[in-house]
Structure 1
């Protein structure tokens, strides 16, 4: 009997260890059963893996996206750019300098150029000056020096097709959240047959993989998708190409839109919301425009979220990061306090995060999904009920 009690206590200890560990255990991504995939959750704010789980692994790489899926993300987010030969690439910057090893490759030393990017002269190795074959020879690296550097030089740049394959082969339904990145610049420097635009190529690729359908439709739930852009005219343009839900990204209060040159005040006005909601289901603002910050302390929130919700627009702010460099003093350097504030007080509908595991763990503890997971209190109660009879007999 003592042995039985010991085994039960061991079970309790292992269960508590799993509960209190830094990461929830998930099966490793692989090709899931076609008809048995767990559906995407829609009952709590979306966990959006910003460039994958790039707080741990270099951004926009297959490994970063696989880690995000493993950690429980709802959506994997990517930025779409184009190579010189018109192939769609998953990469954030229009220059390759900051997150690849291109500066160390002598064969590309003469390829540095200067172009005007959103009104500013920018010098670097521009992605649209390289073919896909050339881009595939590069290796990615971590953007920030204070993050883990052990994966530098290990992973190649991936194509949009490869990204879509990762989502398709996940063991559960995982949404995608591609950004039509710098469409004005892409259309200036890359030409496609038949006079097609960058936006046309993005939508064509999505359709090739079966993406489409209005928000929350059966087709959308099968392959969830949000298309995002900082360029309002691009979102209006693709509204004639696809009924997939779209999100207007909103930059800092000092930065105008890249295509229409509208101010922050203009694109966050009620009049503009009344117009743009014909084409988008939500907005994606930089979080410090929702709650202004002074000397690293958050000030009183604006009414942006309340007004967006009044227009039936979702709000998906960016970007949530665990490091002290990004956590405002109000949260005592605790990312869980930040998540609690934005989810429960500001009432956002989704969060772009560099640390998908942290957000997933927070949500599993505070708002576990019905039928999928148990709260710590319920699980401990269940374990106690199993152990109790043996404890009495002992």
Structure 2
């Protein structure tokens, strides 16, 4: 039977779908961590990559509800902008891979070719559609080897809807939105007030009360990490919000979309020392930390150790259960992969497509204390006391 929380979220989404009005955030009294199970902070974070998208099509209401049900600490999303300036949750700048756009004959003439991160890309682009048009599409599973039964059942959701899923959860759930392709979005989407994509992104977070430095009292009430592959955007947003930010890191041979630096340079000691003034951590591709050789693990780099020496968090991506994503060293067992990354590499959080798998592993290896609510509340009180004392 669906919980009251699930029903509340469904009603909110249905109402929003009909009106496209901005949904109403819960009252601050409803967000009191004393009345909801707080965010766990004693073990690495379980970050639901695009929701529980190993089971349900990515970045949909259902995928996020499932991830929360399965134990996610944070629900992660990619934020893009529509032709009419609305912010939505969608990974690709094109609609081709995860919607039914190819079957929608009324949009056949919208196919375009644009330059995206120095490459020509052809498809149906998010920036050429209004929110109303995008809401008429239906989302499908990205990978053919995953469950296809949910194809065509869910809409694209907005940034506002995504935030409300977390705020209305029956425990404290963090959000982990990515400012996606800011160079491309700022080139193709113009707001009447002259503001940038970064401005609209941060304004939305502030509107819903997200603020505070990492592990501050405000942050623990509404946990948030802002992520991006574009360092200049993170620096720009640091002047607008003190919420913690994560610099995403691609393969070392790839270059940043904004500053045209290689990620080899981005992961150098000098650059990490510079960027730590603006971010609390990095989110590297797994192979940037531990390169693979013929699908076997190679020797780990010292990236995690160097980041930790600068007090930077490390949240690698992406962990998936299927055999084609697991190195041979793990014998097709995702638990062995989690054990390796958490125990031997020592990361601080993991982006996973299978929230439930990671949660079950952590409950077996580092379970909540028996009286977890009181223990977590005590830890938070100690944190506040230390901060108030200047530590």
TM-score by length of 2: 0.87
Partner of 1:329: 328
Q: How many residues align?
A: 349
Distance in 1 between the 2:211 and 2:67 partners?
Answer: 23
Distance in 2 between the 1:80 and 1:34 partners?
Answer: 24
Distance in 1 between the 2:166 and 2:193 partners?
Answer: 30
For 1:283-322, what aligned pairs fall within 5 Å after superposition? 283-322=282-321
Distance in 2 between the 1:273 and 1:264 partners?
Answer: 11
Partner of 1:165: 164
- Per-residue CA deviations over 1:6-40 (Å, capped at 9, x if unaligned) read xxxxxxxxxxxxxxxxxxxx968446965411000
Secondary structure of the 2:235 match is helix
Does the CA contact (< 8 Å) of 2:82 and 2:130 recur in 1? yes
Structure 1 residues 103, 52: CA separation in 2 closer, same or farther (over 3 Å shift)?
A: same
Deviation at 1:284, TM superposition (A): 0.2
Structure number with bigger Rg: 1
- Per-residue CA deviations over 1:60-112 (Å, capped at 9, x if unaligned) read 00000000000000000000000000000000000000000000001001000
Tell me the C-alpha RMSD between the 2 structures: 1.5
Secondary structure of the 2:258 match is coil
Deviation at 1:215, TM superposition (A): 0.3
Q: Which runs of 5+ in 2 are unaligned?
A: 9-25, 373-391
Does the CA contact (< 8 Å) of 1:226 and 1:244 recur in 2? yes
Q: Which runs of 5+ in 1 are unaligned?
A: 1-25, 374-394
Partner of 1:350: 349
Distance in 2 between the 1:298 and 1:187 partners?
Answer: 39
Structure 1 residues 177, 372: CA separation in 2 closer, same or farther (over 3 Å shift)?
A: farther
Partner of 1:392: none
Deviation at 1:123, TM superposition (A): 0.1
Partner of 2:179: 180
Does the CA contact (< 8 Å) of 2:31 and 2:167 recur in 1? no
Does the CA contact (< 8 Å) of 1:139 and 1:155 recur in 2? yes
Distance in 1 between the 2:284 and 2:129 partners?
Answer: 31
Partner of 1:90: 89
- Per-residue CA deviations over 1:152-189 (Å, capped at 9, x if unaligned) read 00000000000011001000000000000000000000
Does the CA contact (< 8 Å) of 1:27 and 1:70 recur in 2? no
Does the CA contact (< 8 Å) of 2:50 and 2:75 recur in 1? yes
Secondary structure of the 2:350 match is strand
Deviation at 1:371, TM superposition (A): 3.1
1:365 pairs with 2:342? no
Partner of 1:104: 103
Does the CA contact (< 8 Å) of 1:29 and 1:70 recur in 2? no
Distance in 2 between the 1:226 and 1:27 partners?
Answer: 28
